[in-house]
């Protein structure tokens, strides 16, 4: 049975294992540790206590931001990223966010498609934002307007 539940710092070794396997430029242990403050909401998708994927979100004032979403390489293509993204959106709405924001590599077409499928729209570009094998790569900024929760 799959369950989405809050992450804790004790999950960092499993987070690092998924992150380093799935990303060419992974987050470090220090970055993960820095994202466990009160303004963050971080959840993992577990099956039988094994972490399959996760996301890190932040809520400030009236906006939420998706900092990282990742699914284990051997679990990709099974809809888990969509489940995590839907959960992030629901958590943003529960916090009465009016918008959800994210940045994605311009070359990550599968992620862009997933975000668009969930209603995110392109809102701008950060030129040369990410490191890449050929130097630097643009970040596409995407926004999802949310219902105003009363």
Q: Indicate which residues carry an active-site annotation.
A: 103, 115
Q: Are 109 and 78 in contact (CB under 8 A)?
A: no
Residues 6+ apart with CB under 8 A from 11: 44, 51, 54
Sequence-ordered list of residues with C-beta below 8 angstroms from that of 109, at least 6 positions apart, any chain: none
Length of the chain: 150
Distance CA 56, CA 62 (A): 17
**Strand residue runs (E) in the chain:** 2-6, 40-47, 50-60, 63-71, 99-105, 121-132, 135-145
């Amino acid at each position: 049975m799959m369950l989405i539940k809050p992450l804790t710092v004790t999950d960092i070794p499993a987070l690092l294992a998924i992150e380093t396997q799935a990303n060419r430029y992974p987050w470090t242990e220090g970055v993960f540790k820095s994202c466990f403050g009160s303004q963050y909401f971080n959840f993992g998708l577990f099956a039988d206590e094994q972490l399959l994927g996760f996301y890190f979100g932040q809520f400030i004032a009236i906006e939420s931001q998706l900092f990282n979403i990742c699914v284990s390489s051997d679990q990709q293509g099974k809809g888990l990223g969509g489940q995590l993204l839907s959960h992030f959106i629901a958590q943003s709405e529960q916090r009465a966010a009016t918008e959800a924001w994210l940045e994605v590599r311009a070359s990550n077409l599968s992620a862009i498609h997933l975000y668009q499928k969930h209603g995110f729209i392109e809102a701008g570009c950060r030129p040369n934002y990410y490191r890449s094998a050929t130097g630097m790569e643009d970040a596409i900024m995407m926004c999802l307007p949310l219902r105003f929760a009363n």
